[in-house]
A = this chain, B = another copy of it.
C-alpha cells in the first residue's frame, strides 16, 4: 500500500498555511494560483498532494479544545510550570490580551473593509465617469477604448500582483486586498467578500503565529498564543470579521463561520467572534458616517444596510407563494448548473494557469476584454426608455454612478441595460433590488443581463485575480428574480424588488447550500425582516432541489484542491467496515528509549507526523502502548542533543534544558527542519528517552470498532491521529494509526473498489 497516503502533514510544505489561509471554504482563486503548480485538476488530488495539505487550510474545520489538550500536552505542562511561578495577574493579562486581539482583528478588518470599499468606489467611479462623459460627447469609440483600456489595465495589474507578488508576500493578505480592489474596479463579475474573508483571517493569523519576524512585528507576549487552539480561534474570528466587513453583516459573519467553517460549537469562541464582528460593524459605520460629509471622493451610498428594501410593502398571499415556490425550484436548478459549470471551468483554467505567469495574465486580459465587450456592447441592443416623471433622483443620471444611465440615449431617456452593465456590481444589485420601480427594467434587458452575468460569473471565477463568489451569484440571482417577478406580475402582487431579493436567495441556496447564515446575511443586507418566511422558503426549496444534482460550490472547490475535508456524517458504507480495515502503510514504531539513528531514519524516510511509542521489557512487563510522539517535538528534542550512551530512562530531567516555549507550535514553516539537525555519526548510536515528550493518553479505538463510529469520533474531537489498538491481549499493543486521510472516501474506495458508495 502506498505509504504516502498515510501522511497527513509534513512540515516542509506549508504554503497554504503560510498564506494565512482559509476563510472557511471560501478559498480564493488567487491563493490557488500560488500553490497550484503542484496540482493536477483532472482527478482528486489526494494521492499527489497529501504532503502539501494543512489542516489549518480549512478554518477550524476540525478545531476542538480536546485536540489542543491532546497535542499540546507538553506545551501545557511547560506552560503550567512557567505559569505557577507567576502571579494571578498574568492569567488576567492573558485573557485580556485575547480580547484585545479580537478588538484588533475587528479594527483591522473594519479598516481594510472600508479601504476596499472606498478604493473601489473611487477607481470604478472615475472609470465610469470618464466613459459616460465621452459617451455624452458622442465619442463612442473613444469611450469604449477608455473603458476597455481601464479595465484591461486594472485587470493586468491585479493579475500581476497575484502572479508575482502574492507568493512572496504570502500570509499578510495585503496582495489579496489590493488585487481584489483592482479586480472589482476592473469591472469583472467578481465579489470582494472572498478576499475580505481571507484578509480577516490573515490579520488574525499574524497575531496567532506570534507576529511576523519579517515585518518586525514580534512581541514577547505573543508566544503565549503560539498554540493550535488560540491560533485557530483567532482565525475563526478573523474570517467572521471578513464576512462582517464584506456584507456589513455582523451576525451573518458569526453564523457564517459557525455554519460553514467550524464544525463545533464553543460558547467562549462564539462570544469572542460576536465581539469582533460588532467592532467591525461599528468601525464601518463610523467611517461611512464620516463619508456622508462628502470627504471620500466618489464614495457613494453608504449606511450599514447595503440594499434597503424595507420601504416595500411585504404582504403576500397564496399566488405569491406559488410564484415564490416556482422561483425557488428554477433557482435551485440554475444554481446547481452554475456549480457544474464553475467546476468545469476551474479544471480547464488550472491547465492554462499551470503553464506560467504569462499565460495567467493573458487569460485575465482575455476575460477582461470579453467583459468589457459585453458591458459596453450589449447595452446597444436595449431601447432607450423615457425617464419616469415622478423621481427623486435625476434622470438620466449625471455625474457618478447612478440609477439611470443615459449611455447613447437622448436627453430625457435612459438605457436600462447600461444602468446595469456600466455600474459597479454593488450598484447594479442595488438597482435590481430597488422597489416601487417595477417598469424600470424591460423584460428583454433583464433577460440579456441575466444571461451575460450568469456566463461571465462562471468564466471569471478561476482566473488569477482574488475573487469572491457571493456577489456574482447575488447579481445573477437578483436579475433572475426580477425577471420572474416581471413574468408573474399579472398573478403576483409582490414588488419586483422583493422578487429580486428572493431570486438572489434562490441562487445562493442553489450554489452555496448554506441556510441559516445566508438567511441572516440577506436579512442584514436588505433590512427586511418581514420577508423572512419567504426567504426561508426559497432557500429551503432551492437547496433541496440543487442537492439532488451536485454538491455545494465550496465542497466542489475543496475537492478540486484535494483538501482532506471530513464530512460531518459518516458515509453509509463505512458501517460495513471496521477501523482495522483502513489502517494502511508500514507502521513505524519507536521504543520508549530509542536509538537516535532510528529516529532520524524514520523522520527522513516517512512523512508521518505522529509516531506511536511502545514500552518493552525491561521498561515494562509486556509490550505496552506508551503514547504518541509528534514529529515537531522529536525535532526539538533531537536539536537539544540530550543523548545518553546507554538505554536508560532519563525522565523529565532532560526537559529542564528546554525553555518553556521551545515546544510551542512554531509559525508556519518556521519550525525546526530535518536539515537543521546536525547529528554526528557517533551520536547516531546513542539513545534518547522519548517519555517526556510522549502524549501518554492518545485517543484510541479498538480495531473492531465500526469505521463509521471511528470516523465520527475522529471528526467530533477534531483529531489528527487516532491509535487503533488490538481487541485481544498478547498481540503488539498497537495495530496502526488513523489520520484524516484514512477516512477520505477516495482512500477507502481505493482499498475496497467493490464497494458501491451510492448503495
Contact = CB atoms under 8 A, between A and B. Distances in A.
Contacts of A305: 529-530
A566 B141 CA distance: 72
Contact of A624 (B278, B515, B729): B729
A27 to B, nearest CB: 19
A666 interface: no
A621 B727 CA distance: 12
Contacts of A751: none
Contacts of A289: 315
A600 B512 CA distance: 55
Contact of A270 (B516, B621, B624): B516
B712 A69 contact: yes
A259 B270 contact: yes
A50 B506 CA distance: 50
Nearest to A525: B529
Contacts of A523: 251, 529
A584 interface: no
Contacts of A270: 259, 515-516
Contact of A712 (B66, B281, B728): B66
A290 to B, nearest CB: 12
A527 B540 CA distance: 23
A121 interface: no
Contacts of A347: none
Interface in A621-640: 621-622, 624
A149 to B, nearest CB: 41
Interface in A258-303: 258-259, 262-268, 270-271, 274-275, 277-278, 281-282, 285, 289
A344 interface: no
A269 to B, nearest CB: 10
A618 interface: no
B530 A712 contact: no
A702 B266 CA distance: 26
A49 to B, nearest CB: 26
A251 B696 contact: no
Tell me which of A268, A278, A281 has the highest count of chain B C-beta atoms within 10 A of its own C-beta. Answer: A278
B729 A709 contact: no
Contacts of A597: none
Contact of A265 (B263, B315, B520): B263
B713 A704 contact: no
A705 B73 CA distance: 11
Interface in A687-702: 696-697, 699-702
B569 A65 contact: yes
A697 B716 contact: no
A264 to B, nearest CB: 6
Nearest to A515: B274
A510 interface: no
A257 to B, nearest CB: 12
A250 interface: yes
B529 A274 contact: no
B622 A730 contact: yes
* Band of interface residues on A: 35 or more
A681 to B, nearest CB: 37
A582 B535 CA distance: 51
Tell me which of A65, A516, A523, A524 has the highest count of chain B C-beta atoms within 10 A of its own C-beta. Answer: A516
A706 interface: yes
B622 A728 contact: yes
A278 B536 contact: yes
A677 interface: no
Contact of A268 (B64, B265, B530, B569): B569
A656 B519 CA distance: 50
Contacts of A259: 267, 270
B704 A697 contact: yes
Contacts of A271: 515, 540, 543
A730 B285 CA distance: 68
B250 A532 contact: yes
A282 B325 CA distance: 14
Contact of A285 (B262, B533, B708): B533
Interface in A534-553: 536-537, 540, 543
A305 B255 CA distance: 22
Contacts of A712: 64-66, 69
A730 B69 contact: no
B709 A701 contact: no
A717 interface: yes
Contacts of A527: 529-530
Given A251-B519, A281-B532, 18 more contacts: A64-B712, A65-B569, A65-B712, A66-B712, A70-B709, A76-B575, A250-B536, A251-B532, A264-B264, A268-B569, A270-B515, A285-B533, A305-B530, A520-B520, A529-B529, A697-B709, A700-B701, A716-B716
8 contacts: A250-B536, A251-B532, A264-B265, A264-B716, A265-B265, A275-B540, A304-B529, A620-B728
Interface of A: 64-66, 69-70, 73, 76, 80, 250-251, 254-255, 258-259, 262-268, 270-271, 274-275, 277-278, 281-282, 285, 289, 304-305, 310, 315, 515-516, 519-520, 523-524, 527, 529-530, 532-533, 536-537, 540, 543, 568-569, 575, 620-622, 624, 696-697, 699-702, 704-706, 708-709, 712-713, 716-717, 727-730, 733
What 8 A-B pairs are tightest by C-beta distance, nearest first?
Answer: A697-B705, A278-B536, A66-B712, A281-B533, A265-B265, A622-B729, A527-B529, A282-B533
